[in-house]
Structure 1
Amino acid sequence: MPLTPAADSTHFYYGLDTLFGHQTKNVACLFDVKRLDDDEPPWFVLHAHPPLPDDLAKAQIVVFSAEGRQISGIVRSTERLDDGSLRLNVEPD
């Protein structure tokens, strides 16, 4: 399925669990969203373009706007691509 334009493709939130508890951070970057309809409920691929914070690859949850609504989900896997971008596979919660 083609990438769908995100409603706000320059800003999203992500959560990390650290030694000091849960931290919510935000990142300002360009991103694209791809909906994977093979699963029920459908998963999303969040493709974030650099510059990116170093800890984004360790994100456990994300919240972003796409398809005209706010979507939150659990990051099930991440992949750093050759161009420096990051692919996050997100299961909606």
Structure 2
Amino acid sequence: MDFSAPVNGKARIDYTQDTLFGPMAKHAECQVSVQRTPDRTVLRVFQPLPDDLHAAQTVVFALEGRRTSAVVKGRQRMADHSVRFELKPQ
């Protein structure tokens, strides 16, 4: 796979959030863009997206037959209301 070219498509995203009662598992189907480098993955999720997705602690998604499981290391809400995640693959 070319590490510099982003891959775009629709993906099911399984994510967890920490709550007072422990981790809560959730999922959503969203349009995404994924860019991989040898040490990190950048996932950008476009509208419409769940209101609480920005608080995800871990994510699992599949795009073009490749499944990625990762810990969220950074997040940023973008001007177009998308969310950009910096991920550390597990």
TM superposition score normalised by structure 1: 0.84
Please state which structure has a larger fraction of its residues in strand: 2
1:55 partnered with 2:52: yes
Paired residue for 1:19? 20
- After TM superposition, the runs of 4+ consecutive aligned structure 1 residues lying more than 3 A away are none
d(CA) in 1 for partners of 2:82 and 2:8? 17
d(CA) in 2 for partners of 1:18 and 1:53? 17
Q: Given residue 79 of structure 2, which amino acid in structure 1 is its aligned partner?
A: D
The alignment-based identity, stated in percent, is 38
Q: Given residue 68 of structure 2, which amino acid in structure 1 is its aligned partner?
A: I
What's the secondary structure of 2:52's corresponding residue? helix
d(CA) in 1 for partners of 2:26 and 2:5? 28
Paired residue for 1:3? 6
d(CA) in 1 for partners of 2:37 and 2:11? 21
Q: Given residue 18 of structure 1, which amino acid in structure 2 is its aligned partner?
A: T
d(CA) in 1 for partners of 2:27 and 2:41? 19
Q: Given residue 16 of structure 1, which amino acid in structure 2 is its aligned partner?
A: Q
d(CA) in 2 for partners of 1:64 and 1:87? 14
Show structure 2 runs of 5+ residues with no match: none
Quick one: which of 78, 87, 90 aligns to 1:90? 87
Aligned residue pair count = 87
**TM superposition shift of 1:64:** 0.7
**TM superposition shift of 1:68:** 2.9
Show structure 1 runs of 5+ residues with no match: none
TM superposition score normalised by structure 2: 0.87
Paired residue for 1:65? 62
Alpha-carbon RMSD across the aligned residues, in angstroms, is 1.4
- Compared CA separation, residues 91 and 67, structure 1 to 2 (3 A): farther
